[in-house]
Structure 1
Amino acid sequence: MPPRLLSPRRPPWLTFTLQRPQYRRFTVLGIETSCDDTSIALLHAPPTSAPQLLYHRTVTSSNRIYRGVHPVVSLNSHRTNLAPLIQECLSLHPDHRPDLISATRGPGMAGALAVGYDTAQGLSVGLGIPFIGVNHMHAHLLTSRMVESLSGSTPLSLNPNDPVKFYPKFPFLTLLVSGGHTMLVHSRSLLSHKIIANTIDVAVGDMIDKAARDLLPESYIASSSGKQSNKDAICYGQLLEDFCFPSGGGVAGENYVYFAPGTKARKAQNKALLEKYGDWGISEPLKKWDKGKRAAVFSFGGMGSEVDRALQKNKISEDDVETRRAMGRETMVRAFEHVISRAVMALEAMPFEERLEVRDLVVSGGVASNGFLRHMARVYLKEKGFWDVRLVTPPPKFCTDNAAMIAWTGLEMWRDGWRTELGVYPIRKWTLDSEVGAGDVEKGLDVVAGLMGADGWVRRDTE
């Protein structure tokens, strides 16, 4: 009798079984690769205490040679650093096996997005756990909720029927200010967002970076970059703030000298600057447009060029640090007042009942790490009579692109009953508002309109 052949056992990694995470424990692995930052985070939500950020590390690609983000350099940086970061994260926390993979799906640079997104889908299959593709701007909106939860003592229930006990609660306003976006968003719920104002040209962060590259002496850039872990990864906006305020902002912003427009102190300050330095020609955005002061748009196109022309026209040498600092402060004042004024306009235009519900103004995104902007926003709101509006700003480390906010947004979307099916693509242009970008969609352009307008969303069983 011939020997009986045993059927080969099917390796477990060949079989994809979607495991169902339990309410008693939940750990999310977050992946962010939308631009030049490769970031990994491991977020754990215990059943009896506040969520914990077990691991969070970010590597920024080199940008000094090209004086900005270079797509190919960023892509190669993601390919080099992503897998080692994931390996380090999981090896340091072997007792916290991920229950969910959350990765940035868009918007962002197509190649950069694909590295993190495809890796996340592969991990989802390999580990047999669900996956969520996150809108990057949605994550910036929710960052303050993450920070509030991490710093508190209240556990986050994964049962969607339980009330959420952390702030800011919906509805609230958010100023999203970064190198790629500048918008004012009214968030009514986790899935409902209306863009009140958007930039019509370049983002405020892009303009600040350009001005910084012109204003900062090369010797200052060289000495400052040597203090960073990656000396070739330069954050020009942060360097400009440090350059203009060498003593920092102080404990409560006492080193920032700012007065709101229309006040006597501001008029005296403007007069003193004009007498000392003359007219630099750095104009208020949209000043030449008759309706510009009240228009629900942002515009920073041309401001960076005005700074360059002022330096050339007045023959300001690199050694004239005092003048360059004063010009940098004036540039930030012009740009940041333009940003804050749109939020104030939106608050003033709200119906009384709706205004009573909106108690928080969140400022998030990379530029929100600027301490001078935060100080200006507080002064401006109080001067305009909005004492009851709470200004919410995440810590600087959570303002720039990071995987912690991606993990958190995935957690909130999962809690609300959503996941993303496998096999769908990253999205280069993806708006939060279904009405913004709808015209481009009709024209056949590569834009996805609305947070839930993307394909691949799956309503899961939340029982």
Structure 2
Amino acid sequence: MLTLGIESSCDDTAAAVLQDDSTLLSSVLTSQDQIHTRFGGVVPELASRCHLESIVPVVNESLKRAKITISDIDLIAVTQGPGLIGSLLVGFSYAKALSYISKIPFVGVDHMAGHILSVFLEEDKPEFPFIALVVSGGTSSIYRADTFTKFTLLGRTRDDAAGEAFDKVAKLLGFPYPGGPVISHEAQSGDNEAIQFPRSWLEKGSLDFSFSGLKTSVLNHCNREKQKNNPLQLADICASFQEAAVEVLVEKTLLAASQQSIQNIVLGGGVSSNPRLRQLMERRCSEDGKKLHIPRPSYCTDNGAMIAIAGVHSHRENSEFSYDLDVYSRSAL
């Protein structure tokens, strides 16, 4: 079975061809970072226009690299939500049109399901049930995954997502967009104990996140240093901020695993590419006797392969499809 996966939820246009549910034949992505950098963040209107320009070339290139044609495809899987409505509509409308013309069934995929299941693109696959931490610019959530299609939300951010906090802190420090990778790079030469930024644990036993207070603490620290005419120690600020954010992400994930009596933990989403998050999660899982599964960075960021694998399992459970389906901005998971 060959599945074409299409992703256009935000500012990356991606497509991939997956054979069965394990063999990736191609994965193509075009980024809009250069376009949005000058604005300090994603501009929805520009993002959707860029998707319109990229969707056909990206899909065609994915088919070319897989050495097949559209007539060889058995299923089209496409991101249905959550995300920017204008961006989602480009990929979703294209997938429906391609399905209708080619008479190939299609399935709408929840973006969060794609991130949760992206780990199954690796050889080392987790056993169910597992705890999944999904962290990106749009979400910070903890799920319990019992099957390929059954997910239970255990905790989520109450304000800024982790990736959003990284980008906002980077902006106030004068770094370009996207800011997460820049902060991670700067933090490598900094002292993560130099500044004691707060950790937001919320209520006892809570698995929710809150990063707005941490972001404000960084802003206040910078303002105090400027009032004293002290130069900002950017590396130390980045390292201390990153440590505060990562520590909460790790500890709450382990708390979820303890509460649910689950041994397997999975990371997903763009922020799970962060080296410090991976390092600390690996250490804490080892200390607590948990088994950790992390996809390679290219599977953590938005990609067509994760949509394809989620679509395969969704289609196996329910093969019916309708052209009346529409996109959604918020996840139902």
Alignment TM-score, normalising by the size of structure 1: 0.66
Deviation readout 1:238-284 (Å, 9 max, x if unpaired)? 111112215xxxxxxxxx988xxxxxxxxxxx5xx3xxxxxx56322
Amino acid across the alignment from 2:68: D
Per the TM alignment, residue 204 of structure 1 is displaced from its structure 2 partner at its CA by: 0.9
* Identity, % of aligned positions: 29
Per the TM alignment, residue 51 of structure 1 is displaced from its structure 2 partner at its CA by: 1.3
Cα 1:67/1:347, change in 2 over 3 Å: same
Aligned counterpart, 1:329: 239
Gaps in structure 2 of 5+ consecutive residues: none
Cα 1:135/1:90, change in 2 over 3 Å: same
Counterparts of 2:224 and 2:45 in 1: how far apart (Å)?
36
Deviation readout 1:166-216 (Å, 9 max, x if unpaired)? 721211000011111111101111222111111111111111111112235
1:59 aligned to which of 26, 31, 38? 31
User: Do the aligned partners of 2:257 and 2:265 also contact (CA within 8 Å) in 1?
Assistant: no
What are the residue-to-residue correspondences of 1:96-175 with 2, within 5 Å? 96=69, 97-148=72-123, 167-175=125-133
Counterparts of 1:410 and 1:197 in 2: how far apart (Å)?
24
- The answer to whether structure 1 residue 240 and structure 2 residue 197 are counterparts is no
Per the TM alignment, residue 293 of structure 1 is displaced from its structure 2 partner at its CA by: 4.8
Aligned counterpart, 1:343: 253
2:272 aligned counterpart, secondary structure: helix
Aligned counterpart, 2:45: 72
User: Do the aligned partners of 2:131 and 2:145 also contact (CA within 8 Å) in 1?
Assistant: yes
Alignment TM-score, normalising by the size of structure 2: 0.91
The higher-RCO structure (CA 8 Å, 6+ apart) is: 2
Counterparts of 1:373 and 1:318 in 2: how far apart (Å)?
33
- The structure with more helix, counted as a fraction of residues: 2
Cα 1:35/1:395, change in 2 over 3 Å: same
1:340 aligned counterpart, secondary structure: helix
- The answer to whether structure 1 residue 196 and structure 2 residue 154 are counterparts is yes
Aligned counterpart, 1:444: none
Amino acid across the alignment from 2:236: A
Cα 1:425/1:365, change in 2 over 3 Å: same
Considering only CA atoms, is the larger Rg found in Structure 1 or Structure 2?
1
User: Do the aligned partners of 2:148 and 2:310 also contact (CA within 8 Å) in 1?
Assistant: no
User: Do the aligned partners of 1:368 and 1:374 also contact (CA within 8 Å) in 2?
Assistant: yes
Amino acid across the alignment from 2:266: V
Cα 1:284/1:121, change in 2 over 3 Å: same
Cα 1:190/1:317, change in 2 over 3 Å: farther
1:123 aligned counterpart, secondary structure: helix
Per the TM alignment, residue 375 of structure 1 is displaced from its structure 2 partner at its CA by: 0.7
- The answer to whether structure 1 residue 41 and structure 2 residue 16 are counterparts is yes
2:266 aligned to which of 362, 371, 374? 362
Number of aligned positions between the proteins? 330
Gaps in structure 1 of 5+ consecutive residues: 1-25, 149-165, 222-233, 247-255, 259-269, 274-279, 433-463
Cα RMSD of the aligned pairs, angstroms, is: 2.5
Cα 1:368/1:93, change in 2 over 3 Å: closer
Aligned counterpart, 2:282: 378
